Amino acid sequence: MPHRAQRWVIHLVTLLLMLGVVAVPATEVATIKVLRGTVSVERNGQILPGKLGLALEVADQVVTGVDSAIGITFQDNSLLSLGPNSRLTVDRFQFNSTTHEGAFETSLKQGKLAVISGKIAKHREDAMKVRTPASIIGVRGTEFVVEAAARR
């Protein structure tokens, strides 16, 4: 009898996943698509060298060098570009590829960030936020550039 119950639960969960009712949090939320100069990714206390194709995860901090830049594509097709001397943290990213529902939050500690928002921001107002040391920007399906000066 316990085997039937276990199989039933497995089948139910599989069906719900296929229908998109249950979202499994993805560890990989974005990919580095363009890279120039020296870029690193700080993850769980380790520093990884930035390279094309490297997958980014929630809580990663992307750091660009003096003459560096990076282009990142997220799972919802949001495009983020960081300029030289920038620090950006991926605070939160949840995305349902079927319904386009989700939440996307980043923190720009310093530097310049250009954004072309993807499906999350176009699906619901204020689903995407960019924090800077001085403000929080609620994105409503648009393109923008923001710059944050380094704190002294």
Please name each of the domains of the chain with its CATH number.
Answer: 25-148 (2.60.120)
Per residue in 81-90, pLDDT (tens digit) is 999 999 999 9
Report which listed range, 3-7, 62-66, 99-103, 136-140, is most confident: 62-66
User: Which residue from 11, 8, 47, 43 is spatially nearest to 28, judged by alpha carbons?
Assistant: 43
94 contacts 25 by C-beta, under 8 angstroms: yes
Q: What is residue 12's predicted lDDT score, i.e. its pLDDT?
A: 57
Per residue in 90-149, pLDDT (tens digit) is 999 999 999 999 999 999 999 999 999 999 988 887 889 999 998 777 766 678 888 898
Token code pair at residue 6: 């276990």
CA distance linking residue 96 with residue 84, whole number of Å: 32
3-state SS assignment for residue 43: strand
User: Which residue from 96, 108, 37, 27 is spatially nearest to 67, judged by alpha carbons?
Assistant: 37
Report the range of poorest mean pLDDT among 8-17, 26-35, 120-129: 8-17
pLDDT at 30 over 50: yes
Residues 6 or more apart whose CB falls under 8 angstroms from that of 36 comprise 67, 68, 69, 70
What are the residues facing 48 on neighbouring strands?
A: 41
DSSP codes of every residue in 51-101: -TTPEE-TT-EEEE-TT-EEEEEETT--EEEE-TT-EEEEEEEEE-TTT--
3-state SS assignment for residue 8: helix
124-129 contacts: CB < 8 A, separation 24 or more? 127/101, 127/102, 127/103, 128/78, 128/103, 128/104, 129/104, 129/105
Average pLDDT, the chain: 86
The pTM of this model reads 0.80
Q: What is residue 73's predicted lDDT score, i.e. its pLDDT?
A: 96
